[in-house]
């Protein structure tokens, strides 16, 4: 809810709302900063500074979906403009950097100013410079969990995962009740293959908010990677219950069922994933392989064809379709498909399987 009496009003001039935003940034008063941006956008919908304030406020609030939407709005070219016209239009990055840098230069020893500048640099894609600002903000206020968290995110985006883990761990120490800190720390541990530590963070996140589907999903992924499919299935099922419209959750659950030889359950979940995301080629392909192994060749052929409609380059779908064609006694078509699969396949074990199928029909050159 906007509080026009306390913060910005739609008719405020640039200088007025810039000063108001600056004061809130210096105070690290991020909630009202979001209100200022929203109020300004009511009067000037495409004001880049106002959109930046909204993005920053949403990031502190933890509303990443809306923050990403506003980021796209800020940097997306106007619909219908030609590329030539788009090139002539001013890039908002310059205005954003100038606004945030001016505050930082005028208040070099203010942690909020350095943090906001770091966030701005992150939004415009200058991550290396953002790291410097996050470090300065931490130097000025070592007890701010958000600074550590955003610093970790920038390092993570630059694939410096070991360093990101250090920042995330500090963020968790400073804000142990913040689920975002734990989820990111868990994801960084997962990427490094430190699965037990990842699982521990996901479990702590679930304790903090049992209704967060991503925590259950991430837990399921880590458990499945450990080969612990029974608890992984339980985690995926809870994620699916909490977010039944997420096709990837159903796809992951189907994979865990398939690995556990619960093929009827796997088929049901792959079909649910396809219903929710008809273009999910991997689900069509997985379904095709199950049907093929069940000797339901017409269904397998149909599934592989749908998979290739959405991903024509997928070697495993080409392989499966080739095998199905062989069973249907369409050898010439099968050989073409298997040769394509062999050329596109990168894994040696799978290439050997494709080559074996070709050899069986008298084809020795792939």
pLDDT in tens, 234-247: 999 999 999 999 99
pLDDT greater than 70 at residue 107: yes
Nearest to 37 by CA among 80, 67, 82: 67
Compute the average pLDDT of residues 1-29: 69
pLDDT greater than 80 at residue 8: no
The mean predicted confidence, pLDDT, of the chain is 92
User: Domain segments of the chain: what residues?
Assistant: 205-276
pLDDT greater than 50 at residue 95: yes
Question: pLDDT tens for residues 188-231?
Answer: 999 999 999 999 999 999 999 999 999 999 999 999 999 999 99
311 and 280 in contact (C-beta within 8 Å)? Answer: no
The rounded radius of gyration (Å) of the Cα atoms in the chain is 26
What's the pLDDT at 361?
A: 87
Nearest to 136 by CA among 162, 118, 157: 118
CA pair distance 223, 237, nearest whole angstrom: 13
Nearest to 58 by CA among 73, 43, 77: 73
For residue 277, give the DSSP letter. -
When comparing pLDDT for 46 and 223, which is higher? 223
For residue 107, give the DSSP letter. S
286 and 270 in contact (C-beta within 8 Å)? Answer: yes
pLDDT greater than 80 at residue 340: yes
108-111 long-range Cβ contacts below 8 angstroms, 24+ apart = 109/140, 110/26, 110/140, 111/28, 111/137, 111/140, 111/141, 111/144, 111/147
300-304 long-range Cβ contacts below 8 angstroms, 24+ apart = 300/324, 301/325, 301/328
pLDDT greater than 80 at residue 89: no
> Does domain 205-276 bear CATH number 1.10.3720.10?
no
Q: pLDDT class for 13, splitting at 50, 70, 90?
A: low
SS3 105: helix
Distance of CA 153 to the CA centre of its chain: 12
CA pair distance 291, 314, nearest whole angstrom: 18
357-363 long-range Cβ contacts below 8 angstroms, 24+ apart = 357/319, 357/322, 357/323, 357/326, 361/326, 361/331, 361/334, 361/335, 363/335, 363/338, 363/339
What's the pLDDT at 362?
A: 85
């Amino acid at each position: 809810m906007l509080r026009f009496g306390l913060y910005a009003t739609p008719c405020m001039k640039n200088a007025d709302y810039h000063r108001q935003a600056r004061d809130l940034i210096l105070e690290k008063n991020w909630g009202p900063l979001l209100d200022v941006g929203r109020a300004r956008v009511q009067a000037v919908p495409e004001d880049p500074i106002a959109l930046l304030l909204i993005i920053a406020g949403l990031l502190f609030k933890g509303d990443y979906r809306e923050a990403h939407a506003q980021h796209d709005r800020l940097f997306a070219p106007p619909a219908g403009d030609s590329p030539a016209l788009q090139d002539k239009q001013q890039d908002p990055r310059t205005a954003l950097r100038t606004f945030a840098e001016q505050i930082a230069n005028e208040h070099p020893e203010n942690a909020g100013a350095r943090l906001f500048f770091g966030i701005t640099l992150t939004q415009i894609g200058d991550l290396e410079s953002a790291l410097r600002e996050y470090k300065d903000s931490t130097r000025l206020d070592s007890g701010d969990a958000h600074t550590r968290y955003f610093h970790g995110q920038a390092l993570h985006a630059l694939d410096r995962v070991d360093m990101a883990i250090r920042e995330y761990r500090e963020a968790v120490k400073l804000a142990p009740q913040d689920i975002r800190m734990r989820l990111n720390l868990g994801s960084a541990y997962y990427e490094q293959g430190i699965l037990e530590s990842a699982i521990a963070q996901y479990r702590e996140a679930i304790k903090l908010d049992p209704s967060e589907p991503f925590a259950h999903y991430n837990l399921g992924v880590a458990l499945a990677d450990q080969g612990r499919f029974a608890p992984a299935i339980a985690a995926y099922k809870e994620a699916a219950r909490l977010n039944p419209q997420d096709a990837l959750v159903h796809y992951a659950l189907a994979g865990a069922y398939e690995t556990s030889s619960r093929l009827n359950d796997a088929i049901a979940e792959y079909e649910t994933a396809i219903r929710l995301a008809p273009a999910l080629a991997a689900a069509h392909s997985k379904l095709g392989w199950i049907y093929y192994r069940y000797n339901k060749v017409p269904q397998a052929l149909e599934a592989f064809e749908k998979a290739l409609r959405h991903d024509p380059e997928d070697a495993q779908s080409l392989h499966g379709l080739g095998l199905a064609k062989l069973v249907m006694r369409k050898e010439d078509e099968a050989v073409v498909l298997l040769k394509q699969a062999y050329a596109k396949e990168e894994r040696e074990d799978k290439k050997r399987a494709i080559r074996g199928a070709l050899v069986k029909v008298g084809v020795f050159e792939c």
